[in-house]
Amino acid sequence: MNALKVGILSFCLVSGAAVAPAGATSITISDVGVTYYENLTLTGGALGSGTLNAGYSGQINLSTSLGNLGVWCVDLFHEIFLGGQYSATTAPYTTNNSTPPASLTADQISQISAIAAFGNALLQPTAHRTFDPSTLAAFASDLANFQTTAPADYAAIMYASPNNLNTFSAAVQAAIWNVAYGTIATNAADAHFATDLGIILANATEFFGNIGGYQLDIVDARGNQAQRQFLSQVPEPATLGLVVLGLAGLFAMRRRVGSQA
C-alpha cells in the first residue's frame, strides 16, 4: 500500500450538517483513496525551518460503515495508507495536531469549516459523497452565490484545463493547512495552483460560512493514531439505513413490475 505523505490523511475534518450527532460516532474505514490531488511542497509555520513534500494533497475519499465520505487532512505529523483499513471516532474540532496540540481560535475553526465546504461544493458533483439533502442544498446555494457575487474569481477557479479539479482540490487542502498550521504551499509544476489558493483564502469564509464540521480521529489496528481529518457532516446511521431500505423497496417493486410484464 502507498502511504499518503505526512499530514495528508492524518487529521481530516468531516464537513456537513451544522448539528452534531449526540456523543462521539464510531466509524469503520474499509478503504482510503484520493481522486483529485497534486504534489505540494510545504514550508514555514509549524514546520519551522523544515520542508515537507506533501504528495497526494487533496480531498481524501474514505469508504466507511456510514458511506463514502469526502474529508480533508488537518494533520501534518502522521501518515495514513492508500487502501488501508482503520477505525475512527468523531469529536469537536478544537485543536491542531502539533506536539503538543495548539488550541484553534473560533476564527480558525470557522475558516477551516468554510474552506472544506468550498471544496465539497465543487467536488460533490464529480463523485458520490454521503451528504444529507440539507447539506447538499447549502453547498449548492453557497456556490451559486459565489458565482454570482464574484464571477471573475469563480471563472478563475473553473479555468478550462483538464487538471482544474486536481488543482482546486490541492489548493483547498493547502488553504486548510495554512489556517491550521501557518504553512505555505507551492507547486512548481502547476502555474494555476497559486491563483486557486489565493482565491480560496480570500473568498471561502465570506461565501461558505454556514456549514460546520468535526474532526475524525483515525487509529490503526493496534490503536495507534494514524491521522486526524476534517469531516463536514457525520451521517446518521439511522438515516443511512432508511436510504438503503428505500432503494431495496424500489428494487423489489421493479422486480414485481418486470415479472408481470
Write out residues in the chain with pLDDT < 50, as ranges.
1, 5-22, 238-261
| Residue-wise pLDDT tens digits, 53-96 | 999 999 999 999 999 999 999 999 999 999 999 999 999 999 99
Alpha-carbon gap, residue 145 to 69, rounded angstroms: 25
**pTM for the model:** 0.84
Contact present, 69 and 20 (Cβ < 8 Å): no
- Predicted pLDDT of residue 256: 41
| Residue-wise pLDDT tens digits, 125-136 | 666 678 888 888
Q: How far is the first Cα of the chain from the last one, in angstroms, to the nearest whole number?
A: 49
- Helices 106-123 and 193-207: angle between axes, nearest 10 degrees: 110
Contact present, 85 and 31 (Cβ < 8 Å): yes
φ, ψ of residue 204 in degrees (nearest 5):
-60, -50
Structural domain boundaries in the chain: 3-260
φ, ψ of residue 74 in degrees (nearest 5):
-130, 35
DSSP 15: E
- Predicted pLDDT of residue 18: 34
Query: What are the grid coordinates assigned to 56, written together?
Result: 497526494
